Amino acid sequence: MTVFKPASSNPSFQNSIEDRLQIKRLLEPTLIISTNAGSDVVKGLTQRPKTLPPRYFYDDRGSELFEQICELPEYYLTRTETKILQSYASEIAAITGACEIVELGSGSSTKTRILLDAYQKQGLPLHYLPIDVSAGMLESSALSLLADYPSLQVYALAGTYELALAEIEPKQLPNRMICFIGSTLGNLNPQECDVFLSQVKAALQVGEYFLLGVDLQKPKHILEAAYNDNQGVTAAFNLNMLEHLNWRYEGNFDTSQFAHWAFYNELEHQIEMHLKSKRSQTVELRTLKLNVHFEPGETIHTEISRKFDLNRIQQELKTKGLVPQKVWTDENQMFGLLLCQLQDKG
């Protein structure tokens, strides 16, 4: 594990932030994705139906496209969760009191500012522990936050959620709150979700908090529009996974020969994203010594995005000892924000 201090060309700025920023790399970024050297890709592309792990969405271009998705008129999720946070952040701060804010998949930390503002207004100390696979993203967003919040301390962890939750430092404030917002929980299947919630539970002490944002079930046309936007940004995000594989594993996917396909599976309550082959074609991934044949219309399943029922998710959290203390939604019940407290470790 390596710890590094950020680079800055301004010496006075550097001194002030050096004391307030620590970034630990739990794993080199290249290893994060290639610990199994692409065996997940080989496995996914040699089974039927074909699949690819959603983590391959997030190279630099994919992360940029995801930021653009969050701004789309059809993609109501980010806007709606932001509004809920704006309305209730001061209540969250009042409930938790002095509290370290741990954020899983912090990305650009935009929504974090709403929480930091609320804690600052109540005169509470600001300790922020962002966790993300991208050390570059952690550094740039931390530097921007540190410039805007003079009393903020940042202890960033670059690594997977699993590693970071297991490695988290003993806390310096009375309480801790793990935040998992943006409905990223929906990208985990039920088994992965169960494992993830156990990891959250293991990282918390009794009395500590878990703040969860989830997208709720709603009419199909609203959901399908959110994943089939008019500007084609979601399509570009989906297709970019193939470009990422081309770069990472010396592949020759021709993205013009695949189409984005997203629909709402009402039985499973999930959006499913696929890439559909437009013709018969064979693709090579040289580094993986893999040739993959596609029939016309054959698909690769790239993502699920589960949509939750507020009562059921509360029950599930309770069975993990994570007891919802407050549940907030927007006026149209599109999105839910749950503040849970760990009540038993058993």
Residue range at the interface with ligand AVI (CB under 6 A); choices 9-17, 166-174, 180-188, 286-294: 180-188
Q: Which residue lies nearer to ligand AVI by CB, 205 or 231? A: 231
User: Which residue from 6, 44, 159, 182 is in contact with ligand AVI, where contact means CB under 6 A?
Assistant: 182
Specify whether the CB–CB gap between 168 and 197 falls below 8 A.
no
User: Which residue from 22, 299, 305, 341 is in contact with ligand AVI, where contact means CB under 6 A?
Assistant: 305
How many residues make contact with ligand AVI (CB under 6 A)? 12
Q: Which residue lies nearer to ligand AVI by CB, 270 or 341? A: 270
CA distance 13 to 15: 6
User: Which residue from 41, 69, 152, 339 is in contact with ligand AVI, where contact means CB under 6 A?
Assistant: 69
User: Which residue from 112, 303, 335, 342 is in contact with ligand AVI, where contact means CB under 6 A?
Assistant: 303
298 contacts: CB under 8 Å, gap ≥ 6: 49, 50, 276, 277
- Nearest residue relative to ligand AVI (C-beta): 305
Task: Based on the shown chain and the rule CB under 6 A, indicate whether residue 187 belongs to the binding site for ligand AVI.
Answer: yes
Give one word for 249, left, alpha or beta, with left for phi > 0 and alpha for psi -120 to 50.
alpha
Give one word for 289, left, alpha or beta, with left for phi > 0 and alpha for psi -120 to 50.
left
Q: Return the H-helix or E-strand segment holding 219.
A: none
Question: Strands, E, within the chain: which ranges?
Answer: 2-4, 21-25, 50-51, 99-104, 127-132, 153-158, 175-180, 209-215, 258-265, 270-277, 281-285, 290-294, 299-306, 322-329, 335-342
Specify whether the CB–CB gap between 151 and 126 falls below 8 A.
yes
Any idea how long the chain is?
A: 346
Q: Which residue lies nearer to ligand AVI by CB, 182 or 251? A: 182
Q: Which residue lies nearer to ligand AVI by CB, 130 or 186? A: 186
x/- contact string, 202-231, with ligand AVI (CB under 6 A)?
-------------------------x----
Contact positions with ligand AVI (CB under 6 A) in 251-290: none
Contact footprint for ligand AVI (CB under 6 A): 69, 77, 182-184, 186-187, 227, 234, 237, 303, 305
